[in-house]
Amino acid sequence: MTITRYKTLDEARKSHWEFHTDRAYYQKLRDMFQFFSQLQVKRVNPHGVFRYSSLMVAAEQEIVWKVKSRMIPPARDKFSSGEIGGSEKFLSDDSG
């Protein structure tokens, strides 16, 4: 990497400007914005106050929101096996 010396701050600022753009420049710019938009965490949590029947149901809803916003990876095998979730079965259980 070469070292470039500037006499003024304006020269240093202008050295990073791209005056001669072509199709490849715009493709690189588009790819860069797409990459950074994938890195950005999109929060799915809706605004407001929610009422839940139990803490278990509230915790499950929090997990669903975090999976949708990609804050934690989806654990499909655990959801399908019943390790996580199952509040419907718990709440509808009439065995006492």
Domain membership of residue 52 (yes or no) is yes
User: For residue 56, what pLDDT is reported?
Assistant: 93
Domain membership of residue 6 (yes or no) is no
Domain membership of residue 2 (yes or no) is no
Domain membership of residue 4 (yes or no) is no
For residue 25, give its domain range: 11-92
pLDDT tens for residues 53-79? 999 999 998 888 887 777 666 665 555
Contact at 8 Å (CB) between 68 and 44?
A: yes
Contact at 8 Å (CB) between 52 and 61?
A: yes
Domain membership of residue 44 (yes or no) is yes
Greater pLDDT, 63 or 1: 63
User: For residue 53, what pLDDT is reported?
Assistant: 94
pLDDT tens for residues 38-59? 877 676 777 888 899 999 999 9
